[in-house]
Structure 1
Amino acid sequence: MKKIFLLLSFLICANLFSQLLSSNLEKKTLALGEVNRLVIKIDNLRSKSVIAAQKNELLPFHFEEVKDSIGINSSSYERVVEFAVYEEGNFKIPELEFKVGDKILKTIPYEVEVINTAKKEDQINDIMNNKEVNLEAADYWDLYKWYVLAALAFIALIIAVVILLKYGRKSKDPAIVATNQTLKELDSLKKKKYIEEGNYRSFYVELIDISRKFITKQYNIPADVLLTDDLISLMKQNNTISPENEKIVEDVFLRGDLVKFAKTFPDQELMQKDFGGIRDLVKRSSKDIEFENLRKDV
């Protein structure tokens, strides 16, 4: 009897002093563009801080967040996210992480079905009857002048390109041009101070976008259209990129995917390391190109 009493006392104390997370999704089935609501609550905070994804960045890509409100006090945290989906199909809201003090709490995953409520037989009726309008030469000019001007500009551009190719100076090494351009883009990203402000989602989105464009142009690998797993697999198959650079791409891109879906929250030190890794990759890329050219010649 004494043991049972002690066990019950322990369970009651654990519930009293632990944080309780609950979540509620208003609707599981939506029409295209219909607004839905996800409510997340954490009780018994006891003045502990709550760390989660930033406003309007909690949900995955397909969920267009309309409103994201956060209410917090010493004892509770409540986040209400209103969102809509503009594609048909089934979409998943994964487990969402909330760090309370040193403890990680996760919501349950949800699946949302999005349907198109419009019917094929629905008729669209004109409000007014169509009218015939007689157009003069000036009217036709107003309608098509921009097309004419665009055509003339396009012809002028072709002539300029032909002249440049025929009489212009020899162009610089494409590998060096791509490297310099990418280094400038990385410097611009650094100036946005995403690392200092802890804006990890915007930082990784732009860092990976710059990296994908660079890999596509420098190594002739379609990184701008491949999924991360497919890109990593292709890099390892064709051996164009050195193992050291492959490792950087794999680590940064996989971490970027986790950040995108709010499954990890990198700190400033890790973001700085990934930025430096990509920058070093860009600088070393010319050696990869030289080695690949030598291999082709052999």
Structure 2
Amino acid sequence: MRSSHRYQGTVFGLGDAQVPPIPVRYRLPDGTEGEVQTAAIPLKVASLLPKDKEQQKLADVRGPVELAIGRAFWAGAAVLALLVAALVLWLRSRRKREAAPAVPAVAALAPDQEALRALDALVASGRLARGEYRPFYIELTAIAKRYLERRLEAPILEMTTAEMLAHLRAIPHGVDLASPVRDLAGAADQIKFARGTGQEAEAERHLTALRALVRTLEARFQPVAPA
């Protein structure tokens, strides 16, 4: 049986080289084993470059080619610029025509009006009648804080319950209002955070107390009639 093998080599320098002898082991049909080797193969590595060093230099790179720009180019550029300018002016004029007329600003409701309307809307929502005490108290306390913030011009919405009560005690108009606000806030916290059970009569009392607080505080801000 014959077999063939192919070898690949690489030479990294010029000059004479050779492929060394390659040993091959064999075994005859009668079991005899032996080894033979090929003869060395001489190689001569030569360069394909021209022998003349002047001919081995790289060719110079050609310089840039000049393009002639005639009158047609400048005329086309001018026409294009005029078209772009006309398009911009047309778009601006169209936007001005399509601009909606300014809507007059709606005057904000007074703090007491806003609070009383919000309380009426809360009652109309039916949450209290359905026994939804947690959302009822969440909205009720939000209305109270919103009103106090607007009327007292203080960041009540950002305050904790303790900070709000301390602020009310520190101002002349809110000293005696701290008690009903504390009562409302305590009941609301019990329902919102402690998952307490609410009662309709108690919720109605807090609703009435907040209405009374709004009227009381508004009366204090009314100008005193001259004697």
Q: State the TM-score, normalized to the length of structure 2.
A: 0.50
Compare the two structures and name the one with the higher strand fraction: 1
Q: State the TM-score, normalized to the length of structure 1.
A: 0.39
